[in-house]
Chain A
Amino acid sequence: QVQLVQSGAEVKKPGASVKVSCKASGYTFTGYYIHWVRQAPGRGLEWMGWINPHSGGTNLAQKFQGSVTLTRDTSISTAYMELSSLRSVDTAVYYCAREGGSGYCLNAVCSLSHWGQGTLVTVSS
């Protein structure tokens, strides 16, 4: 079965960077885009961007351009999200999610069928 397993919680100081991993199993890693979505405490869902694990190509929401880097390592079926210059407003649960496939997408904009368990990133001095 499809599984996305994320790395553990992080506590960082303002100005630092954090790198969250998302290990995929149960399907062909390079066949489906991986998306990143975050959720601040008690708030709604915010899409951050996607990576195409096959090509390494990425698409980031404008808000995150310049501060977020998405990468992947196909040898271990793992995607990464790195967020730099952390501020307190970046305190959130960060999710990776897999798109459902061609029937769930329109021009790489997708409905997300499988989600990781989430990684809490706390930014505090």
Chain B
Amino acid sequence: DIVMTQSPDSLAVSLGERATINCKSSQSVLYSSKNKNYLTWYQQKPGQPPKLLIYWASTRESGVPDRFSGSGSETDFTLTISSLQAEDVAVYYCQQYYSNPPTFGQGTKVEIK
């Protein structure tokens, strides 16, 4: 199974500042023939199910604010919140869907400083 490791486990950022979350996979999730990275990001607020934010490592899901962006390739990925808003307080998970079984990172908790 591909192991997904996120860093940090938690971070506190001031309102309006940038938040950066890293995700590393134990093997490449780049599907060369399609030149796509099969890496997705979810946001989970307390008491709610996860919400899909980004797929293919950098494609925002419809309706997701453009302050959320994803980057990276092969084994190293980043989710960036360019200007943190109060409603962005949540736990964020990366997940690979390159190979079976799909696997998640352990989550990164984002709080307001």
Is A111 a contact of B105 with CB atoms below 8 Å?
no
Interface size on A, residues (CB 8 A): 25
A53 to B89, CA, bound (A): 35
Is A45 a contact of B55 with CB atoms below 8 Å?
no
Question: In this assembly, does A80 line the interface, its C-beta being within 8 Å of a C-beta of chain B?
Answer: no
A87 to B45, CA, bound (A): 27
Is B97 a contact of A95 with CB atoms below 8 Å?
no
B: which residues have CB within 8 A of A? 31, 38, 40, 42, 49-52, 55, 61, 93, 95, 97-107
A54 CB, min distance to chain B CBs, angstroms: 19
Q: Which residues of B contact A113 (CB under 8 A)?
A: 52, 61
A: which residues have CB within 8 A of B? 44-47, 59, 61-62, 95, 97, 100, 103-113, 115-118
Is A44 a contact of B105 with CB atoms below 8 Å?
yes
A57 to B73, CA, bound (A): 32
Select one of A44, A97, A115, A117 contacting B104, CB under 8 A: A44
A57 CB, min distance to chain B CBs, angstroms: 14
Is A110 a contact of B106 with CB atoms below 8 Å?
no
Is A111 a contact of B103 with CB atoms below 8 Å?
no
Known: A44-B105, A44-B106. A111 touches B100 (CB 8 A): no
Known: A61-B101, A95-B49, A113-B61. A44 touches B55 (CB 8 A): no
- 12 extra A-B contacts, CB within 8 A, seeds A47-B104, A111-B52, A112-B50: A44-B93, A44-B105, A100-B55, A104-B97, A106-B97, A108-B100, A109-B38, A109-B99, A109-B100, A111-B40, A111-B97, A115-B51
B86 CB, min distance to chain A CBs, angstroms: 23
B41 CB, min distance to chain A CBs, angstroms: 9
Q: Which residues of B contact A108 (CB under 8 A)?
A: 100
A39 to B77, CA, bound (A): 23
Known: A109-B99, A111-B95. A45 touches B52 (CB 8 A): no
